[in-house]
Amino acid sequence: MPSISRDEVAHLAKLARLAVTEDELDLFAGQLDVILQSVASVGDIATADIPPTSHAVPLTNVFREDVVRPSLGQQQALSGAPEAEDGRFRVPRILGEEA
């Protein structure tokens, strides 16, 4: 029995704003079921004797030295900008707009 229904696939497609056909709903339900079963099988692995790790190999300090280097001044950086305002790049407003 599939672990994800055709209706759930249709709901996910709607949330993702994907236009899918009736045939694709059946196809995707089968594909997603295989994916979910594969992910679930990871839980079947015997991990009691494996210590948790954050990296597969030991790491030493991977950060470079913080060295001050010559850089552009504010006016130089803004010189190529299409628009600037109050010493900053002026960009079109995007927050608060309807999608």
Q: How confident is the model at residue 55 (pLDDT cuts 50, 70, 90)?
A: confident
Please, is 57 exposed, middle or buried when counting C-beta atoms within 10 Å of its C-beta (0-12, 13-18, 19+)? exposed
Please indicate, yes or no, if residue 62 is contained in any of the structural domains: no
Assessment of whether the complete model's pTM goes beyond 0.85: no
- What is the average per-residue pLDDT within 43-55? 77
| Residue from 27, 34, 41 nearest 9 by CA | 27
Domain of residue 36, residue span: 6-40
Number of domains in the chain: 1
- φ/ψ region of 87 (left if φ > 0, alpha if ψ in -120 to 50, else beta) reads left
Q: How confident is the model at residue 60 (pLDDT cuts 50, 70, 90)?
A: confident
| Residue from 4, 52, 54 nearest 32 by CA | 4
Q: Which pLDDT tens digit goes with each residue over 67-92?
A: 999 999 999 999 989 999 999 999 88
30 contacts: CB under 8 Å, gap ≥ 6: 2
CATH of the domain at 28: 1.10.20
